[in-house]
Amino acid sequence: MARIVIEVIILCLFLWAAVSLSRRWSGLRRAQHQSPAIATAPTDASWRATHVGNEKNQTEVLVVLQVPGGTDVWDRRICTVIENQDPDYDKRLYNAMEDARSRAELLNGMRDT
């Protein structure tokens, strides 16, 4: 009985290692194939979190790739959309901006490599 348990544990560890390696390899491949807009962005451009209103009376929380102080946006990714009439608007906006800042840091880290 103990031998079966040990074999199951070894099998689980082997499967975990295989899944972990495949995710890491997939992530590296994805990072190597950036969109053309990102590849042509200036080297001093960086990702930052921001929020804007839209015509549907909503707030879009997004991360944008742009040169600090510049107006050209090389890429933009929407993180979430919040209804302006939402009773929890302040809390949702705060949490969404924190998430967007984390994403911007991650994207900037990937851009440096």
User: What long-range pairs does 86-93 form, CB within 8 A, spacing at least 24?
Assistant: 89/59, 93/51, 93/59, 93/61
**pTM assigned to the model:** 0.63
Instruction: Say if residue 31's pLDDT is above 60.
Output: no
Domain that holds residue 20: 1-33
Q: Are both 26 and 78 inside the same structural domain? A: no
Q: Are both 40 and 24 inside the same structural domain? A: no
pLDDT digits (tens, 9 = 90+) for 66-90: 888 878 888 888 999 999 999 999 9
d(CA 7, CA 86): 53
In the chain, the number of structural domains is: 2
Q: Are both 64 and 93 inside the same structural domain? A: yes
Q: Are both 41 and 9 inside the same structural domain? A: no
Q: Are both 22 and 49 inside the same structural domain? A: no
